[in-house]
Structure 1
Amino acid sequence: MERTSNVSNPALEKTSGWINGFIGVVCFSGSLPATRLAVLEFDPVFLTVARAAIAGVLAVALLWLFRERRPSRDQWFSLLIVALGVVLGFPLLTALALQHVTSAHSIVFVGLLPLATALFGVLRGGERPRPVFWFFSILGSALVVGFALSQGLSASPTGDLLMLASILVCGLGYAEGAKLSRTLGGWQVICWALVLSLPPMAIASLWLAPPSFSGISVSAWVCLGYVSLFSMLIAFVFWYRGLAQGGIAAVGQLQLLQPFFGLALAATLLHEQVSIGMLVVTVGVILCVAGAKKFSR
């Protein structure tokens, strides 16, 4: 596995970034439906630490196999931010939120991630998108927030607030990891963040494990495997590389596609009702990505 390199052809590098970013988004799209199924049988806190511990063990194996150098002292602080944002914060907050809201409802909040990622891309990554970019990015997020308000946040204010908090910590983790990927490498960033999280996550997994796993269904185990392998590791390999190649703010707008894929999965796997309003909002935010992409640099 190679680190992110400086490709001589900027257009080729940008295209590669969008391709890698798209693959990452597709992998991420199954996270919330899989988490929704898993928390029906696993405690949400146990699910969070168990998925991180499993992915951490795989990360240790990868780093050992490819004999990767250890990060520098300055890089460890950024890795801590990544770990707190995407290894612990986002999985835990979404798992808790999904006890109060459906996956279809929570997925719509993911439409806020491009804006959060772009904001932290400016604050942590030093990017400066053009003013028109912010118009399209804010418009897409406004459509999502407007839909949530139309559904009545009073129905489950706890679930919605947890989802909003998860978006903020995730956006920070994405931007910080993308910045670090430029020097450390995309897959190395998520692997070292998982290694950093492994000791407390492994201890917590043993402490919070249920007395018996005999009543856990096959589907719940499959969902745990998905969020451990794909959501915590494989998706980030493509995602961080894509952000580093194509730009945090620009490629981050691909997250507007995630609600579309996620809603389709929720309807197919969980038999949840997807309203016309959800589809209209999803189409609207997807259209916004075209304008945001054009004016991202």
Structure 2
Amino acid sequence: MKLKDSAIRPTAIAVQSPASTSTGTTAGTADRAADRTRSGVLLAALGVASFSLTFPATAWALEGLGPWSLVSCRMALGGLIAGICLLALRVRAPARRHWPALCAVAGGTCVGFPLLTTLALQTSTTSHAAVVVGLLPLTTAAYSSVRNRTRHSRTFWGAAVVGAAVVIAFAVQQSGGSPTGSDLYLFAALLVCAAGYAEGGQLAREMPGWQVIGWALVLCLPVAAVGAALALPAEPVHLTGHTIAGLLWLSAGSQFVGMWVWYRGMGAIGVARASQLQLAQPLLTLVWSVLLLGEHLTPAAPVAAVAVLVCIGVTQRARG
């Protein structure tokens, strides 16, 4: 029997070469990494924008509350908001290995930093406090590097140091050449907040950023309840529109939503790189101080703003 040519003609099969498959996979991975980096930078920047309102909001809240009452109430309200969100979404409790880091976040960002900066703002202007706390990116990057034994390029550290030097020079110029008594509170706040940021940023790689700050705030609820019970009867309370607005922003905006996007951003791009975005925070706070509090902005602010923004750009491009 004679077979037709078509029956024995070999069928053409399209075969994708291993090289093209590997190239496509590599390109897709690179695109995903780039998207993750852009998203992380955006989230961290939103956190910085939220934090820039913290000191003006604190100044408003201090118009009607004492420092201990304010810190206790903001922790309590923040803890209630976080607890409701965690319960509503039925979030499971963190693993046992996560609790030490969560305690560091709670102690640094929920208790230590708010308390120390609130005490400082009783005698310091928001503009002065903002530029002193502008050293936070450098302290956070240094703490993270020591803790994780990581190394960064000389360009990265050089830009970070220059940015910190600009902030220090601006702070000295604002204070008339001599430090104030509130600076001790502010420098202590830098140390505890750097630890909280670094620990939270590492933890945000294993769990969602909002859960990091959420569980940290829930941990603070017992302390907040006791503090409020002791402080509110002992300190004068005069609720005004400014006081209520400041307290609500500190509790929901700066302490919960702001920290949520901040930790998520750090989890995406790393603690050290994200912390450098905070170099812009003191200058944003200066703008809010003028608009919301009527404080005077010196001519040196635009010069410092340009220098700091340049440093941010360099650190974001430098590779560790």
Which TM-score applies when normalising by structure 1?
Answer: 0.92
Matched, 1:203 2:226: yes
**How far apart are residue 43 of structure 1 and its match?**
0.8
Q: Counterpart in 1 of 2:127?
A: 104
Extract unaligned runs of 5+ from structure 2.
1-28
The 8 Å contact of residues 137 and 275 in structure 2, kept in 1 or not, is answered as: yes
Q: Is 1:185 aligned with 2:176? A: no
In 2 relative to 1, CA 140–154 (structure 1 residues): closer, same or farther, beyond 3 Å? closer
Query: Is the Cα–Cα contact under 8 Å of residues 108 and 282 in structure 1 kept in the other structure?
Result: no
Between structure 1 and structure 2, the one with the greater Rg is 2
Is 1:147 the equivalent of 2:147? Answer: no
1:275 to 2:298 alignment: yes
Distance 2:272 2:31 in 1: 22
Which of 42, 62, 82 is the aligned partner of 2:85?
62
CA distance in 2, matches of 1:248, 1:276: 32
- Deviation per residue, 1:269-293 (Å, 9 max, x gap): 1000011123322332222111111
Other-structure match for 1:3: none
- Between the aligned partners of 1:88 and 1:211, the Cα distance in structure 2 is 20
Spell out the pairing of 1:227-266 with structure 2 (5 A cutoff): 227-266=250-289
Asked whether the equivalents of residues 259 and 282 of structure 1 are also in contact (C-alpha less than 8 Å), the reply is no
Once the two structures are TM-superposed, the CA of residue 161 in structure 1 deviates from its matched residue by: 1.8
Say if 1:24 and 1:7 are closer, same or farther in 2 by CA, change over 3 A.
Answer: farther
Q: Distance in 2 between matches of 1:158 and 1:272?
A: 20
8 Å contact from structure 2 (residues 63, 242) kept in 1 = no
Name the SS for the 2:65 alignment partner: coil
Q: How far apart are residue 153 of structure 1 and its match?
A: 7.0
Distance 1:188 1:228 in 2: 16
- Post-superposition offset of 1:21: 0.6
Match of 2:97 in 1: 74
- What residue identity is the alignment partner of 1:144? V
Superposition deviation, residue 40 in structure 1:
2.6
Q: Aligned partners of 2:148, 2:261: CA distance in 1, in Å?
A: 18
- Cα distance in 1 for partners of 2:153, 2:197 equals 20
What's the secondary structure of 2:134's corresponding residue?
Answer: helix
Residue in 2 that maps onto 1:133: 156
Amino acid at match of 2:258: A
Q: Partners in 1 of 2:307 and 2:174 — Cα distance?
A: 17
Say whether the 8 Å CA contact 1:115–1:141 is kept in structure 2: yes
SS at match of 1:184: coil
1: CA distance between counterparts of 2:30 and 2:204? 15
Aligned length: 292
Report the Cα offset of residue 240 of structure 1.
0.2
How far the C-alpha of 1:126 sits from its partner, in A, is: 4.7
Q: Determine whether 1:165 maps to 2:181.
A: no
Deviations 1:106-151 (A, max 9, x none): 1112321111111122123454321210000011001111222334
Greater CA deviation, 273-282 or 24-33?
273-282
- Aligned with residue 118 of structure 1, among 141, 162, 165: 141
- Greater shift, 212-221 or 243-252, is seen at 212-221
Residues 134 and 282, structure 2, Cα contact 8 Å, conserved in 1:
yes
> Relative to 1, partners in 2 of residues 1:214 and 1:253: Cα closer, same or farther, differing over 3 Å?
closer
Moved more, 271-280 or 207-216: 207-216
- For residues 30 and 206 of structure 2, the distance between their equivalents in structure 1, rounded to whole angstroms, comes to 14
Supply the RMSD in Å over aligned alpha carbons: 2.0
In structure 2, what is the Cα distance between the partners aligned to 1:112 and 1:217?
33
Q: Deviations over 1:61-83 (max 9, x none)?
A: 11111111111222111111101
CA 1:52–1:62 in 2, change beyond 3 Å: closer, same or farther? same
Cα drift, residue 248 of structure 1:
1.0
- Which of 197, 218, 228 aligns to 1:174? It is 197
> Distance between the aligned counterparts of 2:68 and 2:264, measured in 1?
29
Is the CA contact 1:190–1:236 (under 8 Å) kept in the aligned structure 2?
A: yes
- Give me the whole-angstrom Cα distance separating, in 2, the residues matched to 1:260 and 1:118: 20
Structure 1 runs of 4+ with >6 Å offset: 211-214
Contact kept? 2:48, 2:278, Cα under 8 Å: yes
Describe the shift of the 1:139–1:57 C-alpha distance in structure 2 as closer, same or farther (beyond 3 A).
Answer: same
Deviation at 1:260, TM superposition (A): 2.1
Displacement of 1:221 in angstroms is 0.8
Cα separation, 2, equivalents of 1:101 and 1:296: 37
Mapped partners of 2:238, 2:174: distance in 1? 35
Unmatched runs of 5 consecutive residues or more in structure 1: 1-5
